[in-house]
Chains A and B, each alone.
Chain A
Amino acid sequence: MAGIIVASGAYALSPVEQASAKRPIVGWKNYLTAENVTATSETADDPASNLGNPSTSWRWTSASTGLQYLTWLFGQERELDWAGIARHNWGSAAIEITLQGLPFGGDANDDGDWVDLIEVHLLNDDGARMWRFTKTPLIGFRWRLDPASTAPFAAVARGGEVTVLKGIPPGHTPIKFGDETEQRDVGNQGGDHLGIAIISRARSGNIVQQNVDPDWYRDNLEEFRRGFRDGDTFFFSWSPVRFPDEVGYCWRAGDATPRISQTPGHIDITFPIKAVAF
């Protein structure tokens, strides 16, 4: 693995987009579906089509420990600038990862036609992950996976056009740290501590947007809100450059209702979320 960068996130943005690289992002527009995915290898019980449904319960599992690809062919040109996975083993399995795209006119069967969107790298853990790259029109997208010795698996894969938020106000809890724990501690009559049982733990938090421009809200956020309202899942990275591994694969925990802020016409909105962060 000489020369491989161990990175918790990787970005290959154009200069224009680098200006917004530090801002929080939501990945909800998705072109990676169950219908257009193929895998070099899959088990009978865990086919690659499972990557296209929103459940983290059903996953794709490869039967191979060799070089392999997870490939989506769109059948038309799509613009992509992000991709994400959740519930995977790509970090702990030390899989060399390359994100590649197939430009219009390329032959999916010809490796030479695929271009690197993110160069080969490793992940430092198995947490939910987002990659952001320069928006590129593509007819296909794939992860090139080269495992060390363990076959890869993943439950959710998404990719499409990212929504860049306006910023996160103070008081935000990164979803990775949004512990919601149920516990019970037990002692005896003598006051001794016998033990503490952590009954359950989950991730919860909020995405808060304050005082956002009404036009921007309507052009960029309202469509996301409607999907949120209906239970669409999404990826969220609150600080993509500085804390690229603090990503959540999220779903609604309640209603997000836009409210007019103190600035006339501007909008405050809070999205209560639950998430898988590991």
Chain B
Amino acid sequence: MADFPVTYIEIDLPRCLHTFGVAPCAATLSGPNPTGTIKCFNTLGTCQDTANFASSIVTLRFTKATETRSLDIAALPYLQTVEYSPAIIPLGEPSLGQRPSIEAHLINEAWPDTGPLGDKYRSERPWDAWQQGSFAGKLLARYKSLRGFAMRLISGQAGQAFEDMEVRHFVVESHEPPTIEGHWSVIGKDPLKLADADRAQAPKFTPGKLVADILANAGSATLAPTGVGNEHYPASGWINIGGDEIVAFTRSGDTLTLTQRGAFETEAQDHRAGARCQLCLYFDSVDPADALKTLFVDFADIPSGYIPIADWLAETDAYWGRVVERLIPEPTAVNQLSGEIIEQCGLAGPWWDELEGKLPLQVLRSIATDAQRFDTTVNVVEGSVTVEPRPERRLSRVQVYFGLKNPLLDTEDPNSYLSSVSIEDADAEELYGGPAIKRVFSPWIAAGGEATALKCAAKLLGRFVHPPRHVSYATYRWLGARPTLGQGAQLLAHMEDASGSRAAVPIQNNRVSFDDAVFMVEADEMSFESKYDTGGVEIPTVTYSANQTNRNLKADFENLYPPATHGDTVKFIINTGVIIGSNSTAAAAMTVGNWPTLAKTGNRTSGNPTLTGITDTTGLAIGQRVFGTGIPAGAKILSIVTNTSITLDMNASSGSSTSTSLTIHTVIINLALRGRVQGKGGNGGQGGTAFDTNNGDGRPGQAGGLALYSRYGVNIDLTSGGQIFGGGGGGGGASVWFYSLGDGGGGGAGSVPGSGGAIGGSTIGEQPGAPGTTEAGGVGGHNTGYGGSDPHGGNGGGPGIAGASGTTFGSGYDGGAGGAAGGAIDGVSYLVKTGTGDIRGTEIN
């Protein structure tokens, strides 16, 4: 028995429910103000009272005029052919791929103006609808445009229930009007067409401008033209002024309060009246799936119903496990932005699944060995297999630039990025005869995202280290396995392995076309190199590979990953030679931040490591830090009896089955400190400034700043010589002496060293203090004009060392005191150190 394919095209068109001139429709052909000369056709294009147009959807259905069609399914037999151009999925390339399209070629016929789209007032018209005009001519004149209406390609077999047929969903893109020969056509695309550069930008253009000049330190600005604020700007956000500066704002009417100037590492500067104020789009630590959805829904008007966001998030969580971070300062094509995310997050798709009417998304990964098999001896059409080598797609080195210095810089310029990583596969270069280099510029990976950048590089290298072949094959359409777009499969054809056996080649279908008899498939070989297939389950890691200041570990983590939750383990690496410093003695160079905790109650007994009576152990994991009365500092969970007890790696120091409130730090933080964390150096004190009791003393040096602050358990690995340095105190200024004013104290050592103290005034050779360095305090100023016997400024302290006091005249005038040493660690009891490293400065709690 043969198969009898049937094809239908459906187009959903809106039609007004109301009757011309009957309330609420206010259209009229009479009176002093007629709305028209003939009644409407219940379409928006002919409506004479659009305010009261009440839309309901009417479906037009066309089919081919073949006797094998089902006459029970009402359809106009005007369909001649359907040209189907399938989607091409970009597998790991910076693109949304090629959009699928259909073009339904139809014949134009006379139309009695009946049917679901018929003329409601047909009997009143002074013409014979059958004799006048044509179906397409009248339809298109009444609708003006079909663009944006739902369009479906429905395929099945004669006799099959209509609801069981295969439905492919599209959106009408355009139509070709009827020719004199009686042909017309309707063209449908997928909804991702809406993301094209000619119709979708993110952020959207905002027209506001500065009314007047503002200075670099201005705290407010006014937008023009009047009313633009409420119309185009949110209550708060970020704007790009004149393409020169990013500014945070809050807004009331047209007035902006500028809450942060020179944001995102841009420079605060003066701006002239008329400077444009472009609203920015900020993705602040967002899952790439959520970022894509925002771009598509909010900026391309793709219906959110097409996006299975829960599936997307499950996919990115399982196989990517990173977030993206970016401020976009100018309107940028949505397809460009989404293409960047696709490449930089190792994604395949999203693509339009016409059958489901949804946009699936995958992370690139290996094809399962038990995936669907297509075999030329079983279900693949004779002569349909072709294999095309694509050596130009091979990669052996992938370099990823990340950590955009500021969002106004050119994202395609390597100089715009703080950091870069590279993965090279020397074996592949030897195997394939040389390097094949790809550079990826990633404005979506924040500074510190070395692990993310490496994963991006690994995804690309794993995908392309062996040049993927391009294959095509066909299967019978109406029986057997059905290939689908995006599907991973194994193809058995004439390709051989080293032994000469037929090889099962892993493929991913990236183009699936069809005709009435067969599916025609194009696919890329997907022999993902397993050593690069790291999945999404490795420990999320933040790497500091360049000097930075005032880092908060939790904030930095969440710039790259979803927030950590109970039971997670996270890792931070400070590379050798890197200094995490501070710009202020009042702020620690590195703050661990507030991470998740759980409160539990258990019973402790002195000399026993087991805490009993813990009835709920949900969220607890081995290695988590435990705090409470009688629990020694540094105690960790060694084992867990579910909902009963936990055993620590230390004995309780007190109690006898004593009920104890426990705080458990449920995220395990491992810090590999191979470089240095260093507080800011204190500034040197100024020398005495006048010969009186109020001003003759030298000024005190400034205290050095703290290096590391923690109130959360951290396992810190110092075995590679890690350093934690408090800032050196600034040296005190010297007092006045006879005819000379005081010399300045030396600056303390620090990541940002303390500046040398100023002289009290210039009379006879007074000397300022020298600034410190990262390694040593600066030398105090010393006026040598009197043979070296006069007072001099104190030397700045070295790392973790107090500054020296300035010396004194000894007759009522005192040298300034040296600044105190900055602490190395505040919260030492929260740290468990491995190795001694080099710690300079106090360690307190």
Contact = CB atoms under 8 A, between A and B. Distances in A.
B476 interface: yes
B68 A45 contact: no
A202 B66 contact: yes
A186 B2 contact: no
A34 interface: yes
A198 B377 contact: no
A195 to B, nearest CB: 5
A198 B68 contact: yes
Given A195-B478, A195-B479, A201-B67, A184 B517 contact: yes
B114 A49 contact: yes
Given A45-B118, A49-B112, A188-B377, A198 B3 contact: yes
Nearest to A46: B114
B234 to A, nearest CB: 49
B516 interface: yes
A186 B517 contact: yes
Most B-side CB within 10 Å, residue of A34, A47, A194, A203: A194
A161 B508 CA distance: 66
Contacts of B64: 200
B110 interface: yes
Contact of B381 (A187, A196, A202): A187
A189 B3 contact: no
Given A200-B64, A201-B68, A47 B517 contact: no
Interface stretch (A50-58, A100-108, A109-117, A132-140): A50-58
Given A50-B114, A200-B68, A57 B76 contact: yes
B112 A199 contact: no
B130 A197 contact: no
A190 B379 contact: no
Contacts of B383: 189
A278 interface: yes
Given A34-B112, A57-B77, A278 B382 contact: no
A134 B261 CA distance: 100
B727 to A, nearest CB: 77
A103 B480 CA distance: 64
Given A34-B130, A45-B114, A203-B67, A55 B4 contact: no
Contacts of B130: 34, 52-53
Interface in B517-536: 517-518
B112 A58 contact: yes
B517 A199 contact: yes
A225 interface: no
B517 A197 contact: yes
Given A184-B516, A201-B68, A55 B5 contact: no
A248 B693 CA distance: 126
A87 interface: yes
A197 B5 contact: yes
B478 A197 contact: yes
A195 B115 CA distance: 37
B66 A201 contact: yes
B112 A190 contact: no
A155 to B, nearest CB: 10
A76 interface: no
B235 interface: no
Given A188-B380, A203-B67, A278-B67, A45 B116 contact: yes
Given A189-B382, A195-B3, A195-B478, A58 B115 contact: yes
Interface residues of B, number: 39
User: How big is the A interface, by class?
Assistant: 35 or more
B399 to A, nearest CB: 44
A194 B67 contact: no
A262 interface: no
Contacts of B2: 183, 195-198
Contacts of B109: 55, 57
Most A-side CB within 10 Å, residue of B67, B130, B377, B381: B67
B376 A188 contact: yes
B84 to A, nearest CB: 15
Interface string B138-175: 00000000000000000000000000000000000000
A197 B376 contact: no
A202 B77 CA distance: 12
B115 A196 contact: no
B114 A47 contact: yes
Contacts of B71: 87, 126, 278
A155 B215 CA distance: 80
Contacts of B377: 188-190
Interface string B462-478: 00000000000000111
Interface string B758-796: 000000000000000000000000000000000000000
B318 interface: no
A53 B112 contact: yes
Contacts of B479: 194-195
Nearest to B383: A189
A22 to B, nearest CB: 28
Nearest to B115: A45
Interface string A188-214: 111100111111111100000000000
Contacts of A34: 112, 130
Contacts of A189: 376-377, 380, 382-383
A233 B378 CA distance: 49
Interface in B1-42: 2-5
A46 B116 CA distance: 9
Contact of A58 (B114, B379, B517): B114
A257 to B, nearest CB: 24
Contact of B476 (A55, A57, A195, A278): A195
B126 to A, nearest CB: 14
A196 B3 contact: yes
A188 B517 contact: no
B516 A199 contact: yes
A53 B122 CA distance: 15
A180 to B, nearest CB: 9
Contacts of A278: 67, 71
Interface string B608-629: 0000000000000000000000
A119 B379 CA distance: 58
Contact of A186 (B77, B110, B381): B381
B312 interface: no
B71 to A, nearest CB: 7
Contacts of A49: 112, 114
B539 interface: no
Nearest to B516: A199
B477 A197 contact: yes
Contacts of A50: 112, 114
A46 B71 CA distance: 15
A34 B110 CA distance: 14
Nearest to B63: A57
Nearest to A200: B66
Contacts of B57: none
B72 to A, nearest CB: 9
Interface in B578-636: none
B66 A188 contact: no
B776 to A, nearest CB: 80
B78 interface: yes
B4 A198 contact: yes
Given A34-B130, A194-B476, 13 more contacts: A45-B115, A50-B114, A53-B110, A188-B378, A189-B377, A190-B377, A195-B476, A195-B477, A195-B478, A197-B478, A199-B516, A200-B68, A278-B67
Interface of A: 34, 45-47, 49-50, 52-53, 55-58, 87, 126, 183-191, 194-203, 276, 278
Closest 10 CB pairs of A and B: A200-B66, A194-B476, A197-B517, A184-B517, A196-B2, A189-B376, A189-B382, A190-B377, A201-B67, A199-B516
25 contacts: A34-B130, A45-B116, A46-B114, A49-B114, A50-B114, A52-B130, A53-B110, A57-B109, A184-B516, A186-B381, A188-B378, A188-B379, A189-B376, A194-B379, A194-B476, A194-B479, A197-B2, A197-B3, A197-B478, A198-B2, A199-B5, A199-B516, A200-B64, A200-B66, A202-B65
